């Protein structure tokens, strides 16, 4: 869609009869319009095609493993795909793709002016656009998680009653992670024009490297807290090949949790602490971004009608 066409759609959407009513009604209509326009922008762009490709990639990886190594336990496959590959590769990239365009898309399409002239505080405008982005990201993550679990457990002999709680918990953990990433990358998008570069460096260095080291620095990563939540709410016990009666704690080994000397992970944050840290990170990032957006002057050329 051309910038002029987008501007016309935005202007016409705001100039509805209800919008010219009482001040309270006008503000509510404007708030809803911003939210709806942002959702439509996300769903009609090319980004969802990239996310669809990610979903197919995850299901394809599961199919390849099933075809080449049919003896791999479903729990091990779930751990590798749903709690290693998706959290470290898919979720940060999904959040970066959507959150990096919160303001930049409006500037590039020259429609930001039509949003700023509405009777909406700047902080509310940013918060609504972020909320619409979070809605889109969470819906996509839930669909991705569901598709992945169907590919892992379909035809494996595991009952739906056993799989359903795992799917629900995994989808919740993934949603919390992508919400945190979106809030963080939304803030970064207001601090630098090279959001994609900075975001990729952050994901590679912090979430990819530092989160896998058994040092206190991983306390500054999102992956560390989501892993703790997963470990405290799910089990990843895989039978040993030499003795099927004994089990290996796959998550503790890969994530470097020393359960031999600290079986209850007392030295690590508890479940409620992990939730508080991630939600606090979301709130702080959103607050700082809203303040920056409120104080910044945006110079955008209004497109002329053809």
DSSP tag of 211: G
Is the pLDDT at 3 greater than 60, yes or no? no
pLDDT for position 5: 46
More confident residue, 110 or 84: 84
What is the Cα gyration radius of the chain? 22
pLDDT the model gives residue 175: 96
Question: Mean pLDDT throughout 90-100?
Answer: 90
Nearest to 266 by CA among 232, 215, 223: 232
**Secondary structure element (H or E) that encloses residue 238, with its range:** strand 237-239
Whether 84 shows a pLDDT value over 90: the answer reads yes
Residue, of 71 and 183, whose pLDDT is higher: 183
Both tokens of 239, joined, read 């039978």
Instruction: Tell me the whole-structure pTM to 2 decimals.
Output: 0.84
For residue 236 the two structure tokens come to: 């990843």
pLDDT at 7 over 90: no
Residue 247, SS3?
A: strand
pLDDT digits (tens, 9 = 90+) for 238-289: 887 777 678 888 999 999 898 888 888 999 999 999 999 999 999 999 999 9
Average pLDDT, integer, range 66-88: 90
State the pLDDT at residue 45.
67
**pLDDT tens profile 37-70:** 888 877 776 777 777 788 788 888 888 888 888 8
Residue 298: pLDDT band with limits 50, 70, 90:
low
CB atoms < 10 A from the CB of 99, how many?
28
Residue 69 confidence (pLDDT): 84
- In contact, 96 and 203? CB cutoff 8 Å: yes
Please list the alpha-helical segments (H only) found in 74-194: 74-80, 91-99, 104-108, 112-116, 122-153, 160-191
Give dist(CA 210, CA 213) in Å, integer. Answer: 5
pLDDT of 8 over the 50 cut:
no
Q: Output the pLDDT for position 66.
A: 84
């Amino acid at each position: 869609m051309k910038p002029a066409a987008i501007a016309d759609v935005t202007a016409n959407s705001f100039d509805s009869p209800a919008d010219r009513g009482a001040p309270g009604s006008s503000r509510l209509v404007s708030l809803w319009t911003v939210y709806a326009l942002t959702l439509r922008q996300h769903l009609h762009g090319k980004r969802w095609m990239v996310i669809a490709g990610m979903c197919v990639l995850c299901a394809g990886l599961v199919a390849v493993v099933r075809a080449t190594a049919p003896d791999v336990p479903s729990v091990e496959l779930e751990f590798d795909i749903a709690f290693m590959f998706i959290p470290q590769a898919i979720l940060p990239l999904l959040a970066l793709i959507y959150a990096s365009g919160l303001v930049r898309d409006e500037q590039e399409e020259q429609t930001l002016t039509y949003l700023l002239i509405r009777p909406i505080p700047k902080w509310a405008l940013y918060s609504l656009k972020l909320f619409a982005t979070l809605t889109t990201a969470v819906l996509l993550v839930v669909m991705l998680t569901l598709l992945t679990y169907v590919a892992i457990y379909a035809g494996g002999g595991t009952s739906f009653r056993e799989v359903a709680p795992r799917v629900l918990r995994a989808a919740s953990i993934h949603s919390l992670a992508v919400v945190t990433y979106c809030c963080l990358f939304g803030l970064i998008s207001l601090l630098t024009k090279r959001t994609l570069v900075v975001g990729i460096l952050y994901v590679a260095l912090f979430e990819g490297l530092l989160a896998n080291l058994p040092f206190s620095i991983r306390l500054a990563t999102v992956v560390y807290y989501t892993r703790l939540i997963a470990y405290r709410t799910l089990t990843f016990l895989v039978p040993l090949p030499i003795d099927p009666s004994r089990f290996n704690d796959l998550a503790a080994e890969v994530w470097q949790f020393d359960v031999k000397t600290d079986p209850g992970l007392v030295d690590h944050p508890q479940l409620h602490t992990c939730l508080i840290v991630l939600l606090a990170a979301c709130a702080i990032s959103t607050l700082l971004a809203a303040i920056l957006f409120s104080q910044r002057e945006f110079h955008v050329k209004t497109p002329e009608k053809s």
